[in-house]
Amino acid sequence: MSQTLFEKLDLADDKNLLIQGLPSSIEKQFCKLSFAKNLTPLLKSRKIDFALLFAVNESQLNSILSEVMPALKNDSKLWIASPKSTSKIVTDLNRSCSWEKLTSQGYECTDEVVLDHVWSATRFVKTYKAANNRVRHNEAIAAEA
C-alpha cells in the first residue's frame, strides 16, 4: 500500500500550518487542509507546527527562511520543496547544495520525499546537539563578560 502525501510529510495532528509558495500543479492535494499561505502575525505568535516552503533557488529560500525561522518551534516539522533535477525548472537547490542558513541554526537534513513529477521536499530537523552547543557557546560568552 502506498503512502499518501500527508503520510510522507508526517502531517497528522499539527494545528499551525504554513505552506508557502504552493504551486498550482499540486495545490489540489492540499485543498482539504486548513493552512496559512504566508507568515501572519497570528501564526508568528502561536509558532509554526508544520512548514512546507517552496523555493526555486537559494536566494529565494534564504529570504523566506529569514522570515519563517523565528516562528518555528524547536520540534516543528520543516520541509523545503525544490524542483527535481529532471524538471524543466532551473534551480540551484539540490541535496548537495549549501544549506548554510539551516545548518548554522542547528538543522539537519533527515528525509526526502517526492511530491509530484516536478517537486521534491527535504525535511530538516533541529538537532539537540546543535542546540546544546549553542547554549554552551552562550554560557561561555556570558562567563567572559
Task: Give residue-wise pLDDT tens across range 25-56.
Answer: 899 988 888 899 988 887 888 899 999 999 99
Mean pLDDT of 79-85: 94
CA angle 134, 76, 62 (to 5 degrees): 70
37-40 CB contacts, 8 Å cutoff, 24+ apart: 39/67, 39/68, 39/71
pLDDT at 113 over 60: yes
Quote the pLDDT of residue 2.
67
Structurally, what CATH architecture does the domain formed by 5-144 represent?
3-Layer(aba) Sandwich (3.40)
Nearest to 108 by CA among 94, 122, 119: 122
pLDDT at 138 over 60: no
CA distances from 60 to 14, 24, 143 (A): 26, 18, 38
Q: Give the pTM.
A: 0.83
Which run of H or E residues covers position 75?
A: strand 72-83
Alpha-carbon gap, residue 110 to 80, rounded angstroms = 12
Task: Give residue-wise pLDDT tens across range 54-75.
Answer: 999 999 999 999 999 999 999 9
pLDDT at 132 over 60: no
More confident of the two residues 21 and 137: 21
